[in-house]
Amino acid sequence: MDGLSAADGSEGKLRSLGKVLSYADANMSGSLDRLLQLLRIPSISCDPLYAGQCQEAARWLSDELGSIGFGSSVRQTAGHPVVVAHHKKTVGPHVLFYGHYDVQPVEPLDQWEADPFNPQLRVQPNGDSHIVARGASDDKGQLLTFVEACRAWKSVTGDLPISVSMFFEGEEESGSPSMDGFLDQAGDELTADIMLLCDTYLWEDAVPAITVMFRGLLEEEIEITCANRDLHSGAYGNAARNPIQVLAEVIASLRGPRGEVAIAGFYDDVKEIGQELKSELGTLHFDTHKFLENVGLSQSAGDQTYSVLEQVWTRPSCEINGIAGGYYGDGLKTIIPSKATAKVSFRLVDGQDPKKIRTMFHEHIRSRIPADCAVKFTELGGSTASVIPSDSEYLRRARAALKDEWGCKSVLIGSGGSIPIVSVMQTKLSINSLPIGFARSDNRHHSPNEKYDLSSFQKGIRSWIRILAELSADAGGDGYLKRRRRD
């Protein structure tokens, strides 16, 4: 085997890198076969009927990691197990790779073109192939890009260029309810210089992206009660307060005339994005018209002082996710209902504290509730926003490696959604993240006929091989890293 040590010169590292990339390409059939094996395990985390299959997926991953020299084990939690694996070195940075082996339910089953747990390989007119199965892209295929990259390094050199730990959970698709407890117990073991994860997207089919912003999330349920029972609308009409009307009025008060959130103090702690990142976003040439037209819309409903891209990535939001009250079956039941409920969520940005926003929200609602009505709040969860420093050395190195593989500059993007593990690792273990994904926008996450492009799988493996090599470079030395910086 061609070993790779810290003392190797830049030419030796480049030779090793070339051999590892060639090995990965030559052994793609084996990588694909392993992905198909994992996809056949129906590890649906939210359904107790599949608890055994979640255990099976965890054991499968642990065994695979053990087969390439990781010290790996399956750890039980209050819910589904996690897989923890380590391959430590005495020099260089230490990275933690995170992924999840659980998947979404498959319903509606009749919209699948084949059994969702019998993966299909479908050749496309452009010569690429789609791997069609539940979990193909979210997150089993993405997770295995990193595992297979490590396999290639180990097969060629007998080693990894840096210290690597892996952390695979089985509850991401059902809210990670056991995560806090597990990290309280085993968090010290997962300490690393940076966390890598692959549950995100390419910007375009041939343009890699690093997601540097995730909005946080705050979820609440409001229940408004007026009378002590449902009332006859003829006997009590006008005399009795209607909780649906009260709810509608307080919900309407949450947004202002420009589409801004109208809660007093809501924006006080918002941190504007830096000029460097703002300039990067300006180069993306985001097609606002197409973005809205794809869902049958033509006008943005958010704060009109910001572009649509800024609205969904860099600004906080408030949305009504559901509302219920009274009778909504067939026909008409002439009542004034006793109760009405709504589910409300806030997407938060850097600087906003979910606890503080929750207090502001409660005060806003309570101040608008009539004296003879009552309001009850139920907390449904919350997490802070995550922002990756744009001056991170790890970010610069990853972008250099991606440029070498893809032949173009990677882009920095945001996400209007949330990946809670990113903020959890920041707050609990002070570990920043590098989310680098190879999914495409049409991969149908959470939908029937979910797919992962075979080219994405292969390019993902090659990208991680290069990133591991780049992260192993001596930051104070010459040659390998300095060549990359000039590039």
At residue 420, the pLDDT reads 80
**Whole-prediction pTM:** 0.86
Find out whether 102 and 54 touch, Cβ atoms under 8 Å: yes
Cα separation, 149 vs 147, whole angstroms: 5
Instruction: Walk me through the domains of the chain, giving residue ranges and CATH numbers.
Output: 10-212+390-486 (3.40.630.10), 216-270+316-383 (3.30.70.360)
Cα separation, 244 vs 235, whole angstroms: 18
Pick out the chain residues at pLDDT < 70.
1-10, 12, 474-487
Residue 218 exposed, middle or buried by CB count within 10 Å (0-12, 13-18, 19+): buried
Give CA separation, 223 vs 144, 226, 306, 331, in Å: 44, 10, 33, 25
Question: In this predicted model, what pLDDT tens digit does every residue of 34-91 receive, in sequence order?
Answer: 999 999 999 999 999 999 999 999 999 999 999 999 999 999 999 999 999 999 998 8
Sheet containing strand 216-225, strands side by side? 317-325, 339-348, 216-225, 374-383
Cα separation, 34 vs 117, whole angstroms: 14
Residue type, 59: R
* Cα 267 from chain centre: 25
Residue found under tokens 């995550």: 386
Burial 157-180 (b: 16+ CB within 10 A, else e): bebbbbbbbbbbbbbbbbebebbe
Find out whether 364 and 253 touch, Cβ atoms under 8 Å: yes
Cα separation, 132 vs 146, whole angstroms: 20
At residue 381, the pLDDT reads 83
Give CA separation, 56 vs 38, 78, 102, 395, in Å: 9, 17, 11, 35
Identify whether 33 is preceded by a cis peptide bond (ω within 30 of 0): no
* List of residues 6+ apart from 200 with CB closer than 8 A: 209, 211, 415, 419, 435, 436, 437, 439
At residue 10, the pLDDT reads 64
Cα separation, 370 vs 245, whole angstroms: 11
Q: What is the DSSP secondary structure assignment for residue 369, as one 8-state letter? A: S
Q: Give the chain's radius of gyration (CA, Å).
A: 25
Nearest 5 degrees, angle CA 157-CA 159-CA 161? 100
Residue 468 exposed, middle or buried by CB count within 10 Å (0-12, 13-18, 19+): buried
Cα separation, 460 vs 437, whole angstroms: 8
Find out whether 367 and 198 touch, Cβ atoms under 8 Å: no
Residue found under tokens 């946080």: 216
Please, what is the angle between helix 141-157 and helix 51-67, to 10°? 20
* List of residues 6+ apart from 432 with CB closer than 8 A: 194, 195, 388, 389, 392, 394, 426
Token pair, residue 319, equals: 């949305």
